[in-house]
Chain A
């Protein structure tokens, strides 16, 4: 009964949480963009110059440029390739998490939400870095892969798939389940788990 209530309430709350998220997307994406900038410009200073927020997009300025269809260094080309990345592709996890948490009506829910937000920001930062890796692979290609410290293309693809296609929906559920401990819903789930485990 409690599980059914949780699911129905989550679905009912989603239009509200997604509406708030959409209206304040830059606010939610800002810390993740800062994290991504810190990560990429310190790990790959030869590839990434910096990243900043422009509306809901992250603008990533690279150290590559392009002349007559040829990828060169920005200094040689006299221009810089910049990538525009939609931060909403990863930040919608916040709206989903907010719906799950609000539907559970937990004690200290604001504090728990803040903790969840910190975790999700870290995951979003990794997601944005993964999108940047995929976009650089497709746009720059060989010069990007040949740069020192860049992982192989297959690893970039798996990382993108994991951090962008999976984590925005899986991470909120994992964080919510972790924070659920001690609540009546958790007791119901624990009883199900106990009964199911005894089945073996």
Chain B
């Protein structure tokens, strides 16, 4: 437990510090955030052709309403928590890599739902938008991280059981 906490905190702190570095922001985080905006637009377009993406901004051409995807809205922080948990937990490198990739996908999938929902909530009612943006969605994203980590633990356990049976 102590080992897990030590590695978890170290990886968490290190990844946070790395994420904040200017070159990392410019080369990775900002393009990734722009990609999220473009992907959200691509997903909305078949249903709503008034949406346009301008860099990190998602805009409705008809109403003029726009949301900008900023630091803290791109799901990277939640992904960092998940990665820190996976790295800290004892498992093979292959399992860790699979879990990080799958976990990142699940966190970002929910984050896309979050971005799209906020885009429409903001056009409908700004008070509801603020509630979801500031208080509810961060909690739901962190619950998603918890669920993914719990599934990872069960997956690791299931992988172990048949191997153990064979060796017996």
Q: Give chain A's interface residues, CB within 8 Å of chain B.
A: 3, 7, 10-11, 14, 18, 88-89, 92, 95-96, 154, 157-158, 161-162, 165-166, 168-170, 173, 189, 192-193, 195-200
List of A residues within 8 angstroms of B136 by Cβ: 14, 18
List of B residues within 8 angstroms of A200 by Cβ: 90-92
Q: What mask results when residues 152 to 165 of chain B are scored 1 for a CB within 8 Å of chain A, else 0?
A: 11101101110010
Tell which of B135, B146, B160 has the most Cβ of chain A within 10 Å: B135
Partner of A88, one of B134, B147, B153: B134
The answer to whether B143 and A7 have CB atoms under 8 Å apart is yes
The answer to whether A199 and B147 have CB atoms under 8 Å apart is no
Given the interface contacts A7-B143, A200-B90, does A165 sit within 8 Å of B164 by beta carbon? no
The answer to whether A92 and B81 have CB atoms under 8 Å apart is no
Q: Give chain B's interface residues, CB within 8 Å of chain A.
A: 16-17, 20, 71-72, 77, 81, 89-92, 95, 134-136, 138-139, 141-143, 146-147, 150, 152-154, 156-157, 159-161, 164
The answer to whether B71 and A195 have CB atoms under 8 Å apart is no
Q: List 5 A-B contacts (CB under 8 A).
A: A92-B139, A158-B20, A189-B153, A196-B156, A196-B157
Partner of B147, one of A7, A158, A170: A7
* A173 nearest CB across to chain B (Å): 6
